[in-house]
A and B are shown apart, each in its own frame.
Chain A
Amino acid sequence: MRKHLRLPSGKALVISIPYLWMFLFFLLPFVIVLKISFSQAAIAIPPYEAIFQYANQALTVVLNMGNYIFLTQDSLYFAAYLGSLKIALVATLVCLALGYPMAYAIARAPRERQLIYLLLIMMPTWTAILIRVYAWMGILSSNGLLNSVLQSIGLIDAPLQILNTNTAVYIGVVYAYLPFMVLPLYANLVKHDETLIEAATDLGASRIKAFWKVTVPLSRSGIIAGSMLVFIPVVGEFVIPELLGGPETLMIGKVLWQEFFNNRDWPVASALAIVMLAILLIPITLFHYNQARELEKKA
């Protein structure tokens, strides 16, 4: 059996350096966002009022609920959350429908070919989303390539308005996030034991039935990982709705950006972030436990 390594002196150091960094720059900032979300916007630098005030030997804590109340009063915010969730959900399902067969095909290819396919899938994930989305702007615009091609073969008479609509956002999101669905699914599917399928077919199941009854249930953790890697970031996506979407596109990432950069209302932007985080807490937790279980299995 494997002995546990004992590194008494270094152990604390090895853990504490990354621990401190992540605590300081990842966890602590959320506490500050929470704090600012309860403060009052002000015309100042920075543009909010302090929550803790110490005057006349008394510490007053002013928790301003106004930002959260404001979010409920303007229907724009509710619509933006709903819009983000809808786009993220549909995009996740489309990515799953496309990505599962892709991952399945890669996992069953010969070993050398698998590596090449993986490279082809991975390459775009390392390329700026900005550039890949920009590529679609040229294709989808009303005098762009897609419309020219459709017009020249006589399929349409007038150019279709695709850019700056939700259709363009769906195309962009699926395009940008498809590789993130394929990779974890592949990592799962490639470990499957082919003999299980053989056993199922020997026992009289059709190949399709064997696929649904054996392969799909076994790939559950891959499906969860892939879906969460698509769904969660898409909910907060900013670049795609900004560049491909139009006035009808309401997504919370874009609204937050505008509150922060255009209106300079930091407290409302913070409240928007906190509510988004609360919505995403369940999917994030699901993702985390799924990952931890996979890691545990490996160790």
Chain B
Amino acid sequence: MRRPDFSSVVLWLGLVFIYLPMIILVIYSFNASRLVTVWGGWSMHWYVGLLDNSQLMSAVKRSLQIAFYTATAAVALGTLAAFAMSRFQRFRGRTLFSGMVTAPLVMPEVITGLSLLLLFVALAQILESLFGVLFDRGMLTIWIAHTTFSVAYVVIVVSSRLGELDQSIEEAALDLGAPPWKTFLQITVPMIAPSILAGWLLAFTLSLDDLVLASFVSGPGSTTLPMEIFSAVRLGVKPEINAVASVILFAVSLLTLLIWFIARRADKRSRMLPPDDELAG
């Protein structure tokens, strides 16, 4: 037996630090007592109550819809962007392009949210004065906002896979006379399918989790689940919120496990292929 070294100890302490609060939250969501700090025995009471909360349920439905459309659009845009970045070494505006694609990863959400809202307001003014069309903020604007910042994450996931791919297969298809679009759809896309799926799920959870962007760009009647939770949380800890939060934790954990299995299978498969001249340093 080896004496546990410093870094392993820190790793375990870090994992405890990360998971303990969430475990406590889940345990307290089964607390029968209305007082959040007093333990009153086990109960499913708060979970059952959630189903009767129609305001919350419609927010859940809305959030799931937005997340679905966000993930789909972000994957389409992100895959194209990742392909452009990894296959086209030079084109006009490449620096700007890669900047626009990586910056949303770190950009503070209050800035992105404010700027998108101001864009939508300006857009509404133009549409109204030129065409007389009324443009209201709502699910559409939330979808645009979520798609825009999810693209960056999809690009990271997909481009790391594209970088590993053996390009000679694509070249062979092209040499044999397949048109580029067909090569892309029938050769490239199937080979990167696991990361496209992982990117889709990632964008889905990002959209489901977002509070700040949605708060800025939503309109009346388009409250998402995080906005609903936030307005309740501001007033303090409540058992109902413990239950909602636990359900979300559970759902996201399942999704993450799913992504992990997809990524692991892809990893295993690519490892079974004969090793190409892997970069050694």
Contacts and interface: CB of A to CB of B under 8 A. Distances in A.
Interface of A: 2-7, 9-11, 14-15, 17-19, 21-23, 25-30, 32-33, 36, 46, 98-99, 101-102, 104-106, 108, 115, 117, 119-124, 126-132, 134-139, 141, 143-145, 148, 175, 178-179, 182, 191, 193, 228-229, 232-233, 235-239, 242-243, 253, 256-257, 260-261, 266, 269-270, 273, 276-277, 280, 283-284, 287-288, 291-292, 295, 297-299
B110 A26 contact: no
B74 to A, nearest CB: 10
B108 A30 contact: no
Interface string B34-71: 00110000000000000000000000000000000000
B131 interface: no
Nearest to B17: A175
12 contacts: A5-B171, A18-B97, A105-B8, A131-B245, A134-B25, A229-B105, A236-B108, A273-B114, A287-B105, A295-B159, A298-B164, A299-B163
B116 A5 contact: no
Chief secondary structure at chain A's binding surface: helix
B196 interface: no
B185 to A, nearest CB: 10
B111 A273 contact: yes
Contact of A128 (B106, B111, B226, B253): B226
Interface in B211-238: 211-212, 215-216, 226, 229-230, 233-234, 236-237
B37 A145 contact: yes
B100 A22 contact: yes
Contacts of A191: 281
Kindly name the residue among A19, A128, A175, A232 whose own CB sees the greatest number of chain B CB atoms within 10 A: A128
Given A18-B97, A266-B118, 19 more contacts: A9-B180, A17-B80, A18-B81, A22-B81, A22-B100, A25-B148, A29-B118, A32-B119, A33-B111, A101-B7, A102-B10, A122-B260, A126-B255, A131-B245, A137-B233, A175-B18, A284-B107, A298-B160, A299-B89
Nearest to A191: B281
Given A119-B256, A295-B159, A136 B103 contact: no
Interface of B: 5-8, 10-11, 14-15, 17-19, 21-22, 24-25, 28, 36-37, 77-78, 80-81, 83-89, 91, 93, 96-112, 114-116, 118-119, 121-122, 125, 144-145, 147-148, 151, 159-160, 163-164, 167, 170-171, 174, 180-181, 184, 202, 205-206, 208-212, 215-216, 226, 229-230, 233-234, 236-237, 241-242, 245, 248-249, 252-253, 255-257, 260, 264, 267, 279-281
B248 A127 contact: yes
Kindly name the residue among A32, A98, A257, A266 whose own CB sees the greatest number of chain B CB atoms within 10 A: A32
Contact of A119 (B80, B85, B91, B260): B260
B249 A273 contact: no
A193 to B, nearest CB: 6
Given A18-B80, A253-B108, A130 B233 contact: yes
Chief secondary structure at chain B's binding surface: helix
Nearest to B246: A131
A36 B77 CA distance: 29
Given A126-B252, A238-B212, A19 B226 contact: no
A271 to B, nearest CB: 11
A104 B7 CA distance: 7
B21 A175 contact: yes
B111 A236 contact: yes
Kindly name the residue among A101, A261, A280 whose own CB sees the greatest number of chain B CB atoms within 10 A: A101
Nearest to B18: A124
A131 B211 CA distance: 11
Going nearest first, the 3 A-B pairs with the smallest beta carbon separation are: A236-B108, A29-B115, A128-B209
A22 B155 CA distance: 13
A277 B103 CA distance: 12
Contact of A138 (B25, B205, B216): B25
Given A136-B21, A237-B108, A30 B115 contact: yes
Contact of A253 (B83, B110, B170, B249): B110
Contacts of B21: 132, 135-136, 139, 175
Contacts of B91: 11, 15
A44 to B, nearest CB: 12
A248 B280 CA distance: 51
A3 B173 CA distance: 13
B242 to A, nearest CB: 8
